[in-house]
Amino acid sequence: MSETPGWKDRLFGGLSKTSSRLSENLTGLVTKAKLDEATLDDIEDALIMSDLGPATAASIREKLAGERFEKGLTEDAVKQIIKSEIAAILEPVASALEIDAFPRPQVILVIGVNGSGKTTTIAKLAHLFLEQDYGVMLAAGDTFRAAAIGQLKIWAERLGVPIISGPEGGDSASIVYDAVKQATATGIDVLIVDTAGRLQNRAELMDELDKIRRVLGRLNPAAPHDIVLVLDATTGQNALSQIEVFKEVAKVTGLIMTKLDGTARGGVLVAAAKQFDMPIHAIGVGETLDDLRPFDPEEVAAAIAGIRE
Ligand SMILES: Nc1nc2c(ncn2[C@@H]2O[C@H](COP(=O)(O)OP(=O)(O)OP(=O)(O)O)[C@@H](O)[C@H]2O)c(=O)[nH]1
């Protein structure tokens, strides 16, 4: 897939708050010629304060302790090690959403709490698939609020893709059923379904998703193919608790982390990768359609560490 011009700028620009915070936290720590235990402790604390999570911070500390730093200790040398550790953590989980379902369509359910960036992410995903020449359809399965349905319709119109929707308070499962039928009949490759994000009521959410699964299963036993959880990076550690809960309640198959541009807490992406062995499909670094891409672990690690080569 061709890379959108400027993606690297968006990525590095988007993650600049995170990399600046990391830099600030490290400033002054790396002035000594030797890394003693106290300095290592301070660096580990700085990494935890940068939201990378205790496990990542400990593994970077271990790496630093094992280095000899023959050319003297510089902040850049430390950042290089942080970068390669982050890349090694992101590598196994970075996994683009592939459209390979047969029979078509591939059904992607998108879940996430209100305000997480779910609707915008659906539009960005649709844009990404359209760029790859796939036929895309949207389904407004989050019938809880009229505004959510309206928002998705506006995106569908802007993108020029069909959308199946129903009234506010309507039955999500029947909307999804209609959407799959129509998508199948019209040769759509990928159906992206907006679903409810009511974490407040787990039983209700679980029932609703179970019902969608049952109804889908009648048309295509393999559907839904993907259940993608959208997370707002600005919520920091709270994003991690959401993964914990949604993983159980909604059988999430992969993650998308958005709003990495709006926060100095982008390290939470790394914490999520380390803590949960779950595919991370893409990241969002802004509000426009081009601001969401599958990511290159090396590049994201460099952007978080603040090293642009
Ligand atoms: N800065 C930034 N803003 C984003 C990103 N993704 C989404 N947003 C913004 O976040 C706000 C909420 O996004 P929505 O897509 O409406 O979120 P939602 O989860 O569907 O929320 P509800 O409609 O409230 O349920 C909007 O103003 C988006 O433009 C991102 O990657 N970066």
Mean pLDDT lowest for which of 51-60, 69-78, 227-236, 273-282? 69-78
Report CA(267)–ligand 1 centroid distance (Å). 20
53: phi > 0 → left, psi -120 to 50 → alpha, else beta; which?
left
ipTM of this model?
Answer: 0.95
> How many beta carbons lie within 10 A of that of residue 76, not counting itself?
11
Percent of the chain with pLDDT over 70: 95
User: Peptide bond preceding 5: is omega within 30 degrees of 0, i.e. cis?
Assistant: no
Ligand 1 centre distance from Cα of residue 287 (Å) = 7
How much of the chain, in percent, has pLDDT values that exceed 90? 73
Whole-model pTM?
0.95
Nearest residue (by CA) to ligand 1, atom 6, is: 117
SS3 70: coil
Pairing state of beta strands 292-293 and 280-284?
antiparallel
Pocket of ligand 1 (CB under 6 A): 112, 114-120, 148, 151, 258-259, 261-262, 284-287, 291
Strand blocks (E) in 81-199 = 106-111, 136-140, 163-164, 190-194
pLDDT digits (tens, 9 = 90+) for 148-174: 899 999 999 999 999 999 988 889 999
Q: What is the DSSP letter of 139?
A: E
